[in-house]
Structure 1
């Protein structure tokens, strides 16, 4: 069985490697990848593995972005530090999750589920995988916010927001009519909940909507500068490492 591991924490990746060896199965780890960008590059240049272990939160984004930008035709087992309540959306059909720190019993159970996913001839049911991933995306996507603003509760649709940013440890959302609202969620929580076809984690400070991007300027050292509508108070930059993923996202429908 050929597997890949997508994990940006070296300790967690090493622990998973050890447990896979202890599982008693004939497993070959093809590679350990640390980011969305690196994962997309590897998957586009190499044959698909039999199974992938995907950490959800990576250094340059969330692993769901990989599914948006690269066709995944093999089963995936997610790994996450979230508790039972937060990750119920990911426990769907044949796709499982491993709660960190990963334990051997949980890994064995997940591998058993993987083997049941195979068809009699040993091929992976790609259609079933696609349906599962679509179900996950639908379950985890946020449609609206109920915002506590001054002495009111204001319902706002996600479509009304142009971008989200963090400043002085507080997260704010900016609407297309240039109004700013405080949000209770962290940027990490928003990144998981927003539709990845419509929103992109530009950097540690900003998540931007595709519709809010007016122009993209080339910046120093291979970076990209986003000109947003409404205009942001600070420069919103895409790093050189993340620029290829961003460009692929912009080309998507």
Structure 2
């Protein structure tokens, strides 16, 4: 099976690439935006299967199909909740909710194999789907419910923290903490991986394996060694907040949204 991944979040793309490789074989390409995907599909044989994120850094992925007649089967990968997704689950297209579960990924790939690999291949084009209706739905999706508050145990008490008061979340010594403006840090019962899907992506960004920052809390951004960036946040001095080099471009796009 020949597949490609179209996913603008590079950590998510790498994780999906690894998972797909473990189940079948490595994707032949990993693309990160609409424009690169159009160029690739215009100039290369189309794969059997595309793992397609819906919202890319330069627009909705459905824009690809305005420029290229795609003959590949598609499995959507998205952060939209299942109620919105079921409204446009059409024909034999599958979807996977982020963060992607390995068992669900394997089941989706098995479904693809049983329908398209074991019999004489019948082309199912994207044009058979009502992509305009899907795109309209995604421009006005069912509201995704992001976390509004967090709790932390302080002695015998449980303290509530509205998400807007959190400057950043970080991991240290196998624990996950939230930091507020007065410089206090509180241990919470979450992992950064889970928080990525629970936080409003326009407001919070994971700059590294160790930290997720609130855009409203950023006081300064300065150049750092090896083409990286350092983010400075008021009253936080546990460690330097460094945007890893592989995330710098995405980070710049995020702060300019």
**Residue correspondence of structure 1 range 83-122 to structure 2 within 5 A:** 92-93=86-87, 94=89, 96-97=95-96, 99-101=101-103, 102-103=106-107, 104-107=109-112, 122=128
Further displaced range: 8-17 or 240-249: 8-17
TM-score by length of 2: 0.66
Distance 1:72 1:109, change over 3 A: farther
CA distance in 1, matches of 2:125, 2:162: 37
CA distance in 2, matches of 1:110, 1:158: 45
In structure 2, what is the equivalent of residue 148 of structure 1? 153
Q: Which structure has more RCO (C-alpha within 8 Å, separation ≥ 6)?
A: 1
SS of residue matched to 2:239: coil
RMSD between aligned residues: 3.8
**What's the offset of the Cα at 1:8?**
2.2
In structure 1, what is the equivalent of residue 71 of structure 2? none
In structure 1, what is the equivalent of residue 77 of structure 2? 78
Distance 1:76 1:175, change over 3 A: farther
Preserved CA contact (<8 Å) 2:152 2:160: yes
CA distance in 1, matches of 2:159, 2:139: 32
**Residue correspondence of structure 1 range 193-208 to structure 2 within 5 A:** 193-208=198-213
Preserved CA contact (<8 Å) 2:3 2:29: no
Check if 1:125 corresponds to 2:131: yes
CA distance in 2, matches of 1:232, 1:117: 53
Distance 1:127 1:211, change over 3 A: farther
Check if 1:14 corresponds to 2:12: no
In structure 1, what is the equivalent of residue 4 of structure 2? 4
Preserved CA contact (<8 Å) 1:53 1:79: no
CA distance in 2, matches of 1:242, 1:209: 16
Distance 1:234 1:134, change over 3 A: farther
CA distance in 2, matches of 1:45, 1:238: 24
CA distance in 2, matches of 1:156, 1:110: 49
CA distance in 2, matches of 1:237, 1:15: 31
Distance 1:226 1:195, change over 3 A: same
SS of residue matched to 2:195: helix
TM-score by length of 1: 0.67
Distance 1:130 1:180, change over 3 A: farther
Give the one of 4, 7, 32 matched to 1:39: 32
**What's the offset of the Cα at 1:46?**
3.4
SS of residue matched to 1:44: helix
Preserved CA contact (<8 Å) 2:183 2:235: yes
Higher radius of gyration, 1 or 2: 2
